[in-house]
Amino acid sequence: MGPLVKKDWHGVRIVGTFLAVGTLLFAGTGTAMALTLTSSAFSAGGKIPSKYTCEGNDISPPLSFAGVPNGTKSLALVIDDPDAPDPKAPKLVWVHWVVFNLPADSKGLSESPSGRDLPKGAITGLNDWKKTSYGGPCPPVGRHRYFHKLYALDVTLPAKSLAKSDLEAAMKGHVLAQAELIGTYQKGDP
C-alpha cells in the first residue's frame, strides 16, 4: 500500500501509510475481503440472547468466520468483558472463553454446551473462572459489552492450555488478521 496524503482542517499536509489490517486481496479477482466474525444469534452491537448466558443455558453462541487469509495455520478466539464488574466503574477485563489452534479452514463454531463441540485439534484455555470451557455473560450490575475476538495466525501454538495473557504472548508477531464482534448483555434481558 502506498502513502496517503491528506490535509487536516488547518490545511497542513499529513502523510501517513494506508494499511488495510486484516484484508486479503484475492489474486486475479481484484476483490478485497477482510477477516470477519459474525453470529446468527445477535448482530454487531446487539443484545446477546439470555440462552447464551448464566441466566439461560450458558451455551456458547454460534459464530461464523470468513475471509481467513492465505498463510493462516490456525485461528484463535477470545471472548472477554472490559466492563467488569460495573460498566460505570470498570476495574478489570473478565475473560469468558479462550480457544486456539482452531483449524485454518474452520468456517465457524456451532452453539455448544460449555463450548465442548470444537473441531479436532482445538484447545481451550483458562477463563477467569479458572475453567477450560465457555462461561457466558453474567454481569453483576449494568449492561456489559462482550468482545468476541478472532485471530488468524501464521503458526499452530503449543498444545497446552493457556490463559488469555499467555495466548497473547504466544501470538505476538504471528497475527495475520483480526476480527471483532461485540454483543451486550444485562441481567433480565430476554
Please state the domain extents for the chain. 35-185
Domain covering 35-185, topology = Phosphatidylethanolamine-binding Protein (3.90.280)
Percent of the chain with pLDDT over 70: 83
* Mean model confidence pLDDT for the chain: 86
Greater confidence (26 vs 16) lies with: 26
pLDDT higher than threshold 80 for residue 15: no
pLDDT of residue 183: 98
24-28 contacts, C-beta under 8 A, 24 or more apart: 24/67, 24/68, 24/69, 24/70, 24/177
pLDDT higher than threshold 50 for residue 22: no
Q: How confident is the model at residue 69 (pLDDT cuts 50, 70, 90)?
A: very high
pLDDT higher than threshold 60 for residue 29: no
pLDDT of residue 16: 31
